Amino acid sequence: MKLMVMDGQGGGIGSAIIKGIRASIGLAPEILALGTNSIATSRMMKAGANRGGTGENAIIQTSQVAHIITGPLAILMANSMMGEVTTPMASAVASSPAQKILIPLTQERIRIVGVSNEPLPHLVNQVAQILMEMY
């Protein structure tokens, strides 16, 4: 199973997801860290990803071979993360055949109705639980 974790800016959400997965599932899943910038990728690699890639082409190519994609909701939104998520990146993630498990955190001016305001650690635990059930 190839699990793609995508994040941008500082990579904090992606790092938290990777640490949560490693703590609950262990070393079994292959985690691919995809950052919109090198700082995000580096931080996710330090969190325990197996491999990492940075930028538009890496995200586009990897999203087509990943079995599961996880990250903040903003990875589906063109021009999100202060413009770091390009239209081709968002399109590649959205159109990927991979299952998407997204954390409903965004700095964009978007509100999602029906979603609770859980803190990030609780949301990461929910992602890890879903992945354990799938794995």
State yes or no: pLDDT of 46 exceeds 90: yes
- Convert the pLDDT of each residue in 103-121 to its tens digit: 987 677 888 888 878 888 8
The letter for the amino acid at 12 is: G
Residue 5 phi, psi (nearest 5)? -110, 120
Dmax (CA) for the chain in angstroms is 37
Q: Name the region of 71 (left: φ>0; alpha: ψ -120 to 50; beta: rest).
A: left
Q: So what's the pLDDT on residue 28? A: 80
The pair of structure tokens assigned to 30 is 């292959």
Region 124-130 average pLDDT: 91
Q: SS3 of 40, please?
A: helix
State yes or no: pLDDT of 135 exceeds 80: no
Q: So what's the pLDDT on residue 25? A: 86
For residue 26, name the pLDDT band (cuts at 50, 70, 90).
confident
pTM of the model: 0.92
The pair of structure tokens assigned to 26 is 């262990």
Q: So what's the pLDDT on residue 59? A: 98
Question: How many folded domains does the chain comprise?
Answer: 1
Output the domain CATH number for residue 69.
3.40.50
- Convert the pLDDT of each residue in 72-96 to its tens digit: 999 999 999 999 999 999 999 999 9
State yes or no: pLDDT of 70 exceeds 80: yes
- Return d(Cα 25, Cα 40) in angstroms, integer: 22
Q: So what's the pLDDT on residue 29? A: 87
Region 18-47 average pLDDT: 94
Q: In terms of residue numbers, what domain contains 22?
A: 2-134
Tokens 């538009």 belong to which residue? Answer: 56
Cβ count near 54 (within 10 Å)? 17
Percent of the chain clearing pLDDT 70 (strictly above):
99
Q: SS3 of 38, please?
A: helix
Region 33-46 average pLDDT: 97
